[in-house]
Amino acid sequence: MNEYAGKLVAITGVGRAGQVGETLAQRFAQLGATVALLDRDEPALQERAADLERAGHKVIAVTTDLTNPDAVGKAAAQITNSGKTPLNALIAAAGGFAMSGPVAESDFAAWQKQLQISLITAYLSTRAFLPSLRAARGSIVYFASAAALSGAKTANMSAYAVAKAGVLALMQAVSQEERSNGVRANALAPTSIRTAANVSAMGADQAYVERESVADAVQWLSSDGSRDITGQVIRLGA
């Protein structure tokens, strides 16, 4: 199956083994795409790239600080030949979770980190890759969270919830602004995903969203079959 043969897909946050980014990279590579992987952890990033290359897949691995505007701009230029190579999909998967405690007792650094790793990374990646996404009339898939949806329990994790709510607002703005350019933007809002980090922290017996289910949703939102879908949020998990 080579649905993405000859197409370029960029995925942020593909470093550590056992995380969502690894599964997404494997999925799109198996579908024939050239996958561009971005992460700040160079050793882990190179391991993921080497795994894919050994399987015969096409990979571009770029180590970059996704919270640094200049660094992200240079990475995007490298991957897309300064915007000349069309980008079919941007998967903004970089992020992370941490409790921030009650707002009255919260640490500013914890808040700042959550905003940086989830919202700022998504914003800077979007801004840098939009020229090549327009050329391909491509798709952006953002990673929000069920914690950012109406009625969610957010006590003691307000920094994470606010960051993910910001991702949803960013997605809506991009969807509206880029519709005329043929670029569509959507978001996933999963509950806890079965990642190595989550299993280590919470145990294996929790009710998780499987990484393969996440990849299924991202694949569909990036495909021609969802060409008319934009500005939507898909919740995953109970």
Which burial class, exposed, middle or buried, applies to 54 when counting CB atoms under 10 A from its CB (0-12, 13-18, 19+)? exposed
The order of strands in the sheet holding 233-236 is: 59-63, 34-39, 8-12, 89-92, 139-143, 184-190, 233-236
CA-wise closest residue to 181 among 133, 229, 233, 127: 133
Length of the chain: 238
Q: How far apart are CA 98 and CA 217, in angstroms?
A: 25
pLDDT confidence of 2, banded at 50, 70, 90?
A: confident
| High-pLDDT (> 70) share of the chain, % | 100
CA 235 from chain center: how many Å?
Answer: 15
pLDDT digits (tens, 9 = 90+) for 207-235: 999 999 999 999 999 999 999 999 999 99
pLDDT of residue 105: 93
CA-wise closest residue to 184 among 92, 76, 89, 77: 89
CB 217 within 8 A of CB 237: no
pLDDT digits (tens, 9 = 90+) for 17-26: 999 999 999 9
Write down the mean pLDDT value for the chain. Answer: 95
Q: How far apart are CA 86 and CA 80, in angstroms?
A: 7
CB 92 within 8 A of CB 142: yes
pLDDT confidence of 1, banded at 50, 70, 90?
A: low
| DSSP E strands, 68-206 | 89-92, 139-143, 184-190
pLDDT confidence of 15, banded at 50, 70, 90?
A: confident
β-strand 233-236 against 34-39: which pairing, if any? unpaired
- Domain boundaries along the sequence of the chain: 8-236
pLDDT digits (tens, 9 = 90+) for 155-214: 999 999 999 999 999 999 999 999 999 999 999 999 999 999 999 989 998 899 999 999
**What is the arithmetic mean of pLDDT over 33-60?**
97
**What is the arithmetic mean of pLDDT over 56-85?**
96
Domain 8-236: assigned CATH number = 3.40.50.720
The DSSP call for residue 214 is H
CB 128 within 8 A of CB 73: yes
| Euclidean distance between the first and the last CA atom of the chain, given in angstroms as a whole number | 31
pLDDT digits (tens, 9 = 90+) for 74-110: 999 999 998 889 999 999 999 988 889 899 999 999 9
